[in-house]
Structure 1
Amino acid sequence: MSKVKVLPHDKTVEVRDGVLFLAAVRVAKAVLASKCGGRGACGTCKLQVQPAGVLDPPTLLEQRMLSERQLKEGFRLGCQAKVKGDAVVTLPEDPLRRVIRMQLEAARSQSEQDPSS
């Protein structure tokens, strides 16, 4: 059994080696999109795995869907990469939530600079 910590949710689950990271994330009750049903065709289940050295080499599908830079930074497709030891996975921020967060931070920063409002 291996421990997989899922960030930013800060949840840790124990799963068997050989389980897909997509399944491990779901066991942690975190959301990771997978529009193609786990066939490696859409790239929406991209996540970052640390340490990257505990994984098998990227599949051909991952090599097509991810840039060399992303692969070097530990990005993998959750529907292709399998758990092979303790790891920490970081899920990408949902684009809509990112926009909302940035707008809220900008508004908060502006109100701190202008205390009269």
Structure 2
Amino acid sequence: MNKIRFEPHGKTVDVRTGVSLLAAARSAKVMLPSKCGGRGACTTCKVQVQSETPLPPLSRMEKHMLSDRMVADGFRLGCQCNVTGDAVVTIPEDPLRRTIRLQLEAARREKEENQ
């Protein structure tokens, strides 16, 4: 069994070799969106993977959907990348949620400064 830890949630799950990272996230009850149903066509399940065990080669869809920079930074598609050993998987913050969070934080700081 392989231990996969999902960040920033801090949840760990034991899964067998060959299970997709998307399936591992679901086992850990971690929200990892997948609009295309796991076919590698939407990139909503992209994750950053840190693994001491070499990951499987990029799938055809990953080569098409991920930039060279993203691949160099350790990004993979959760639905296409299978577990090969223990790993830490970081789920990036949704861009819309990030924008809203930053706006709320700025408004909170402004309010505190004016008090």
Distance between the aligned counterparts of 1:72 and 1:95, measured in 2? 21
Distance between the aligned counterparts of 1:53 and 1:18, measured in 2? 13
Question: Which residue of the partner structure matches residue 64 of structure 1?
Answer: 64
Question: Which residue of the partner structure matches residue 35 of structure 1?
Answer: 35
Distance between the aligned counterparts of 1:64 and 1:15, measured in 2? 27
Give the C-alpha shift of residue 96 in structure 1.
2.9
C-alpha RMSD of the superposition = 1.4
Q: How does 1:37-52 map to 2 (within 5 A)?
A: 37-51=37-51
**Is the deviation greater in 105-114 or in 75-84?**
105-114
Give the C-alpha shift of residue 39 in structure 1.
0.8
State the TM-score, normalized to the length of structure 2: 0.93
Distance between the aligned counterparts of 1:108 and 1:55, measured in 2? 42
Q: Percent identity?
A: 61
**Is the deviation greater in 57-66 or in 44-53?**
44-53
Distance between the aligned counterparts of 2:96 and 2:67, measured in 1? 23
- How many residues align? The count is 115
Using a 3 Å threshold, how does the CA distance of structure 1 residues 52 and 71 change in structure 2: closer, same or farther? farther
Say whether 1:55 aligns with 2:92.
Answer: no
1:97 maps to a residue whose letter is R
Structure 1 residue ranges (4+ consecutive) displaced by more than 3 angstroms after TM superposition = none
Say whether 1:80 aligns with 2:80.
Answer: yes
The runs of 5 or more residues in structure 2 that have no matched partner are none
Give the C-alpha shift of residue 53 in structure 1.
5.3
